[in-house]
Amino acid sequence: MVFSKEEKNLLLGNALALFATIVWAGNFIAAKLVTSDLSAYEINFWRWIFASIFMLPLSFRHLRSDLPIIKSEFKLLLYYGFMGVFLSNLFFYHAPKTASAVDMTILMAVSPLLMMFFAWIFFHDSINKAWILGSVISLFGVVTLVTKGNYFSLAQTSFTVGHFWILGCAVCFALYSVCIRLLKAQMHLTVFLQVTFVIGAIFAFISLLFGHGGFVFSIQSSDVAPLLYMALGASITAFLLWNTAIKKIGAVRAGIIYYLVPVFGSFFAVIFLGETISLMQVTGASLVLGGVIFCSLKGRVDKPQSDQ
């Protein structure tokens, strides 16, 4: 079977976005392992410091040739580093203090819908009806998965500042993903990530000084492995996969696959945290998967984004 260039981009983009969601699902587990020892400011700082260091061998040979682009596009890179790297994750690590994991998962699932909305508002993208229907199915599946079918429990939710933290995270991630297209320069992806990671680390350091009340070199030995996962997995690997996927299929289609994060997150929780899964959670996961497959089969392909 011979595939057209558009079909190859579709298959590859979907696969890359899928693997990115798998890695990010593990980030929920890693964050849960360190939140008792480290503050949100400390987690965010160490994640991006480590990510910046480990990314350097990958980006070093491309940095000199891309230096003119870095200078000319610095304001845009500053936006990506602040919004997608620093702010969204600072919000994410603040949320567990006052919001339950169930509420966090549901609110983060709003991010794909926000991607559609922002793409329509800011870039006048036409949104395929199949994407809307598939997104509604997937969102309902997420709610079923995390509430275990007890929908009435949502009515008993008391909104706290944590809910606004995670909603802010969803908004920032959606804005980051949709606005990737604004970078028209042919910058190497590893350089793009290196620069935005460093920018994120600088902002994280500043927030650590002022928000945390000072800089403390205090990491428990048990925190090292989760932090390394955040840096190597949830930062370098996932962002490489995600940004390449956006280039291939667009932020809206990639965002639909993002609905699978709670599905993989629940699977990892069973394996690594010893949690159990109910029949309603299996039903919810099936709905999420069904919605994503429906979008993939029925939705048109976005125009590829500019190469980073």
Secondary structure of the chain as H, E, C letters? CCCCHHHHHHHHHHHHHHHHHHHHHHHHHHHHHHCCCCCHHHHHHHHHHHHHHHHHHHHHHHHHHHHHHHHHCHHHHHHHHHHHHHHHHHHHHHHHHCCCHHHHHHHHCCHHHHHHHHHHHHHCCCCCHHHHHHHHHHHHHHHHHHHCCCHHHHHHCCCCHHHHHHHHHHHHHHHHHHHHHHCCCCCCHHHHHHHHHHHHHHHHHHHHHHHCCCCCCCCCHHHHHHHHHHHHHHHHHHHHHHHHHHHHHCHHHHHHHHHHHHHHHHHHHHHHCCCCCCHHHHHHHHHHHHHHHHHHHHCCCCCCCCCC
Confidence at residue 157, expressed as pLDDT on a 0 to 100 scale: 63
Residue 163 maps to a domain: yes
Q: Does 278 map to a domain? A: yes
Summarised one tens digit per residue, pLDDT across range 125-161 is: 887 788 888 888 888 888 887 777 787 776 666 677 8
Do 191 and 52 form a contact (C-beta atoms < 8 A)?
no
Taking only the tens place, the pLDDT of each residue in 269-281 is: 777 767 677 788 7
* In a domain? residue 305: no
Q: What is the pLDDT of residues 66-85, one digit of tens each?
A: 999 999 999 999 999 999 99
Residue 46 sits in which domain range?
5-298
Asked if residue 303 is part of any domain, the answer here is no
Residue 99 pLDDT class (50, 70, 90 cuts): confident
- In a domain, residue 306? The reply is no
Query: pLDDT class for 1, splitting at 50, 70, 90?
Result: low
Overall domain count for the chain: 1
Q: How sure is the predictor about 166, in pLDDT bands with cuts at 50, 70 and 90?
A: confident
Residue at 186 is within a domain: yes
In a domain, 304, yes or no: no
Q: Other C-beta atoms within 10 Å of 79: how many?
A: 18
**Nearest one of 13, 14, 43 to 235, comparing CA atoms:** 43
Residue 178 within any structural domain of the chain: yes
What is the pTM for the complete model shown?
0.85
Per-residue model confidence (pLDDT) at position 56: 97
Residues 6+ apart with CB under 8 A from 150: none
> In which band, very low, low, confident or very high, does the pLDDT at 302 lie, cut at 50, 70 and 90?
very low
Q: What is the pLDDT of residues 22-58, one digit of tens each?
A: 999 888 778 878 877 888 899 999 999 999 999 999 9
Sign of CA dihedral 119, 121, 122, 127: positive
